[in-house]
Amino acid sequence: MSSKPDTFEIYLEPSDSKRLASLCGPFDDNIKHIERRLGVDIHYRDNHFEIIGPPMGRLSASQILRDLYIETAPVKGKAADIEPDQVHMAIQASKALEQDVEFVEDQQTTIKTKRGLVKPRNPNQQSYVRAILNHDINFGIGPAGTGKTYLAVAAAVDALERQEVRRILLTRPAVEAGEKLGFLPGDLAQKVDPYLRPLYDALFEMLGFEKVERLIERNVIEVAPLAYMRGRTLNDAFIILDESQNTTPEQMKMFLTRIGFNSKAIITGDITQVDLPRGQRSGLRQAIEILHDVEDISFTFFTATDVVRHPVVQRIVQAYDVFDKKKKVQQAGGAHERPD
């Protein structure tokens, strides 16, 4: 059957009612999500799908349906469920493909861990992964939810498993995010764990809880506050400095000069969420100014469009960006109106 000019038809093979039900989701929620985000209408009967809408929307929706259908492949005889976050990720990837054709050609750049392949979801993530592979010092800068820390940890795990490095070192400044937490009970590890939890979470997902615990016991993985880096030289290591916007210029310089032979460092942060005391300059901001032309140091800047969390997170980041820009314009206008 031939398609109408604004209609694209696909058949998902093999036809399997349970897999199709998983793809569509309860009450067709997954289909409705794709329709809403891409501006298309999707009609289906059995494994025959008709997609109506603008050309790029039709193309993206057809590819998303094919990709998600592959993910419904039975596990132990049961069709795998398609969760809302999988649909969101697939849509984000399709939008990136629309914006950057080169991303399609470079899709093979992935990070391999024992839990499976970690694939970049958009062109900026792709550039970030390539930069990590090709440079010794890498900065990943941008808002929450863009995958900066997750991809950094994945790259570190990959390097460790391929025996390119002998250990992983994860660190971040122990700065309170606006709240005064007061005295924290316990030993050193228990005191700093709350600050380092996002790094632990990524490690647990990629290696499993028990293996991470064993590697920490053997000091193959070390998780420590930034203050404990002073005076050390780190050879044969993959080092990640997270939340680097909360370093002082002195701390940032100290960290960068710890890096020894056969080591790789990734510095991640969001310059819009600095928790340092008022008047204290961020070491990350200064590093961007000083190091942007230094050879073998790469910078990847993420924006709200790179957010791969719940769609509303992207809109929240964009709303704050608009608010900050308006505030700067108003402040600049007020400065001009002041008398000499």
CB atoms within 10 A of CB 96: 21
Amino acid symbol at 310: H
- Topology annotation, domain 7-99: Ribosomal Protein S8; Chain: A, domain 1 (3.30.1370)
User: To 10 degrees, the CA torsion angle through 46, 52, 57, 58?
Assistant: 50
Of 119, 112, 234, 260, the residue nearest 170 (C-alpha): 234
d(C-alpha 272, C-alpha 208), whole Å: 32
- DSSP letters, 223-243, are EEEGGGGTT--B-SEEEEE-S
DSSP SS3 for 267 = strand
Q: Reduced to 3 states, what is the DSSP secondary structure of residue 190?
A: helix
Question: Residue 23 and residue 29: Cα distance in Å, rounded?
Answer: 9
226, 228, 235: which is closest to 284 by C-alpha? 226
Give the three-class secondary structure for 178. Answer: coil
Between vectors from CA 17 to CA 14 and to CA 21, what angle results, nearest 5°?
115
Q: Assign 221 to helix, strand or coil.
A: strand
| Predicted structure pTM score | 0.62
pLDDT of residue 246: 92
Q: What are the sequence ranges of the domains in the chain?
A: 7-99, 109-309
| Spatial CA neighbour of 244 closest among 158, 322, 171 | 171
Over the Cα atoms of the chain, what is R_g? Answer: 23
Closest CA to 139 of 301, 317, 310: 301
In 3D space, the residue among 153, 152, 154 whose CA is nearest the CA of residue 140 turns out to be: 152
| Rounded Cα distance, 240 and 213, in Å | 18
Residue with tokens 């100290």: 254
Q: Which stretch of DSSP H or E encloses residue 11?
A: strand 7-11
* Mean pLDDT, the chain cut into blocks of 10 residues (340 residues total): 66 93 92 87 94 88 92 85 84 60 50 74 87 92 89 92 90 62 51 70 87 92 84 89 93 92 92 86 94 90 79 73 79 59
pLDDT attached to residue 169: 93
Token duo for residue 180 = 């005064």
Assigned CATH for 109-309: 3.40.50.300
pLDDT score for 275: 85
